[in-house]
Structure 1
Amino acid sequence: MIENFDIDNRLIKLADIVQQQCDAQFKRLEDTAETNQVKVTAAFQRNRVSDAYFAETTGYGYSDRGRELLDEVYADIFRTEDALVRESIASGTAAISLAMASNVRPGDEIIFANGLPYDTLRSTVGITEARGSLAEYGVTHKIIDTKDNKIDYSAVAASLSKKTKMVFVQRSRGYSIKPPVNKEQFETLSTVVKGYNKNIIMFVDNCYGEFVKEQEPTQWGMDMAAGSLIKNPGGGLCKSGGYIVGTKECIDNASARLYAPGLLKEVGATSNKRLMFQGLYMAPYTVKESLKGAVFTALLFEKLGFKSYPKYDELREDIIQLVLFDKSEQLLQFCRGVQAGSPIDSHVTPCPWEMPGYDDKVVMAAGTFVQGASIEFSADAPMRDPYVAYMQGGLTYTQVKLGVLKACDIMIKKGMIDIR
């Protein structure tokens, strides 16, 4: 590693110490991945997946058994009544927006149970003014702030009314320092809301959280979940796509909006079913590798004098690792170092830019095989105080380790890290 990448020898020695200290955490992650791999394999077998179902379909996509089977496997793994898995759903935001918009009507209200949603979702609801937002269709919303970094159940309960159609939870932290939502919070929130009205839809943005735990939020009281296939469940192989899992009514509503009323899931040609199946099969392993990289990063930066969240020995709820910097230039150089340690576009220098859907300029380091695939090793951040790098993904642990060491080495050479 030193010879090929000119990394400071002192940093290599520190990395060896860090890796040894992480052994117990790595073992925990291996155990979770094994449980999830068995679960996924069993779902494939129960649904009799065969290579005959991987064939491309064209036109309307009628009688596409492979497409139907992929939905069934997802529903099996997430323990839901139905699923909608499509490569034409462009992103996690697109999946969430589709699920949200299709299941509310004019006059309905959405409660955001753990604070302001992720930047790109604010346009969907109308928090940020945008053409086609739910606000334009007469759907209102309330934002309930967290209390002590947890869902404020009393405040949520007090906000419920006859207008409430959906309660939304963002599982991951997004661009914030608040911790992700855990199983206990999901279950308690569901009990509170369903105690008021059992017909309120409990909906979770599941991005960055799939296969981190041995169960999913749809087993913890959530009626519907959505996410991206170029994040965790795509296993690093999917070229594009998104998924929605949930009750049959929720999925029927989503498919009617995606295609047309009356058509539901009977149409939709697919060309990458093999990668969608294979990526799902690989997902538990790939998620585990990215989590090992996050644990290593947390402890390495702690030893270098920086704050990082979660701590290396904390239980994980998503694949995101935060590193806090004192200055914007440190943040920028970290992201540039991550890019320099990547297999793709390592020669490119990331610069902050006005990315669509974000209120602040964003710097993104992503030397990925699939554009924007955050299950691959990447780091990004809005250029605002506090200066926090949000690192996630990694197809292999070594990829993350190398990228992070390259980032640290660049910061050492620029005098931003003092290593002894």
Structure 2
Amino acid sequence: MKKWTDNLPDKLVEIVAETDTQIESKLKEIDEQVLFNQQKVLEAFKKNNVSETYFAGSTGYGYDDIGRDGLDRIYADVFKTESAMVRPQIVSGTHSISTALFGMLRPGDDLLYITGMPYDTIQAVIGVSGTGIGSMKEYGIGFDYVPLTDDDHMDIEGLKEKLTDKVKVVAIQRSRGYATRDSFVVSEIADMIKEVRNISKDIIIFIDNCYGEFSETIEPTEVGADIMAGSLIKNAGGGLAKTGGYIVGRADLIEQAGYRLTTPGTGNEEGATLNVMRDFIQGFFLSPHVTGEAIKGAIYTSALLEKMGLDVSPKWDAPRTDLIQTVNFGKPEPMVKFAQAIQHESPVDAYVEPKPSEMAGYEDKVIMAAGTFVEGASVELSADGPLREPYTLYVQGGLTYAHVKLAVTAAVEKTFY
């Protein structure tokens, strides 16, 4: 019988076999996690009586959209919150985060990030980079952040110093973004929330949950977070959602976010869903499985590339809380070559040769490999990163473990053989 490794160099075939043996038990753990999360989603679907009528969508103002309102309830049930807002009018994770923050903050309020400086696109929202037009800074909303400790943990003393009476919202970024730190597992986020509550019971705690949904068996809203936001072209859309984002949390905060997204007085009552509801609902049902496939791919990527002598994070056997796998190449040439190889092993636009280029919201040139069915969908296999030291490539996503394994192995061959 022919094998997928038949045309690979003998040494690489040997390394792949060693990797498969090494990670076998870890992949079984992910299978159990998928079962737990799938059960959680299935129960929410059953509770909310999902039927064919949910898929119809709406036009115009979108009043009385049964599917939209039902999906909101499903998200609230799964994430254990009072309310939820899932909308195609939200164009990205950054837009979802921005909508939530602008909904809560007013001129004179302060926003405090306690997980270090947020990533590039959020910096533009805040107003510490970019033109500043429409940013929080322009509206007189203050911003500060607590740098992480040398070992990349929250600085408790720094938190006590900067958590002033003017701070209305404390923000926690779960994923590493384009930083070199590890992403924060939910147990660490729970400890952060506890420290904040020890200082103030009234602070609103917000979680940027991008890349995190279903990567563990518990979500930040189950350990005390007030509000959380993410993107549907990442985990929660299951590879089917073609746009959209979600915000879940306290009912009053979701109402405020709805007024920011649409208009005061209408909020979540409006917003036509057109023909997206089937994809949104089915995608969320598939999300635990697709997230598990992507995490399996990340585990394989980590183990294989470490065997190639590269610095990887997380390690293959480390706890995982998102889809992101980083690889430090140390110099730009192999980083670009590996990303180009991932593009050439994609189902869409495999013929394209990505080049480092300027990208809106980022300060450095970025190399971006993303041959995806949905443009920019991070739940699908992609590899990107800014061209700055230590030349770190962020490999993430994958609708199937098989595709990640094939693509990453081919990229290793093209880069190192």
1:212 equivalenced with 2:215 (yes/no): yes
> Are the aligned partners of 1:5 and 1:406 in contact in 2 as well (CA < 8 Å)?
no
Alignment map for 1:254-265 (pairs within 5 Å): 254-265=257-268
Unpaired segments ≥5 residues, structure 2: none
> Are the aligned partners of 1:2 and 1:9 in contact in 2 as well (CA < 8 Å)?
no
1:5/1:109 Cα in 2 relative to 1: closer, same or farther (>3 Å)? farther
> Are the aligned partners of 2:185 and 2:320 in contact in 1 as well (CA < 8 Å)?
no
Matches of 1:5 and 1:98, distance apart in 2: 50
Aligned equivalent of 1:138? 140
Matches of 2:128 and 2:61, distance apart in 1: 36
| 1:237-294 per-position Cα deviation (integer Å, ceiling 9, x unaligned) | 1000000001011100000111111102111110210100000000010011011111
Aligned equivalent of 1:405? 409
Aligned equivalent of 2:113? 112
Matches of 1:9 and 1:108, distance apart in 2: 61
Identity, % of aligned positions: 44
Aligned equivalent of 2:249? 246
Report how far residue 20 of structure 1 moved. Answer: 1.6
Alignment map for 1:15-414 (pairs within 5 Å): 15-128=16-129, 129-147=131-149, 148-270=151-273, 271-413=275-417
> Are the aligned partners of 1:157 and 1:192 in contact in 2 as well (CA < 8 Å)?
no
Alignment map for 1:7-22 (pairs within 5 Å): 7-22=8-23
Comparing 311-320 with 152-161, greater Cα deviation is found at: 152-161
Alignment partner of 2:120: what SS? coil
Report how far residue 5 of structure 1 moved. Answer: 9.2
| 1:210-254 per-position Cα deviation (integer Å, ceiling 9, x unaligned) | 100001000111111101000000011100000000101110000
> Are the aligned partners of 2:326 and 2:395 in contact in 1 as well (CA < 8 Å)?
yes
Matches of 1:109 and 1:193, distance apart in 2: 15
Report how far residue 19 of structure 1 moved. Answer: 1.1
Figure out how many residues of one structure are paired with residues of the other and give that number. Answer: 413
Report how far residue 188 of structure 1 moved. Answer: 2.2
Alignment partner of 2:207: what SS? strand
Report how far residue 4 of structure 1 moved. Answer: 9.3
Matches of 2:50 and 2:141, distance apart in 1: 41
Report how far residue 176 of structure 1 moved. Answer: 1.2
| 1:105-160 per-position Cα deviation (integer Å, ceiling 9, x unaligned) | 00000111010101100011111142100011110011110112111122112211
Matches of 2:41 and 2:133, distance apart in 1: 39
Paired letter, 2:140: G
Alignment partner of 1:135: what SS? coil
Report how far residue 9 of structure 1 moved. Answer: 3.7
| 1:55-83 per-position Cα deviation (integer Å, ceiling 9, x unaligned) | 02110111111110010000000000101
Aligned equivalent of 1:416? none
Paired letter, 2:288: P
Alignment partner of 1:134: what SS? coil
1:3/1:206 Cα in 2 relative to 1: closer, same or farther (>3 Å)? closer
Matches of 2:359 and 2:77, distance apart in 1: 36
Alignment partner of 1:198: what SS? coil
Paired letter, 1:156: L
TM-score (norm 2): 0.97
Alignment partner of 1:389: what SS? strand
1:229/1:3 Cα in 2 relative to 1: closer, same or farther (>3 Å)? closer
Unpaired segments ≥5 residues, structure 1: 414-420
Matches of 2:4 and 2:211, distance apart in 1: 34
Report how far residue 190 of structure 1 moved. Answer: 1.6
Tell me how large the CA RMSD over aligned residues is. 1.3
Paired letter, 2:137: A
> Are the aligned partners of 2:371 and 2:382 in contact in 1 as well (CA < 8 Å)?
yes
Report how far residue 317 of structure 1 moved. Answer: 1.3
Matches of 1:260 and 1:228, distance apart in 2: 21
> Are the aligned partners of 1:340 and 1:406 in contact in 2 as well (CA < 8 Å)?
no
Off by >3 Å, runs of 4+ in structure 1: 1-7
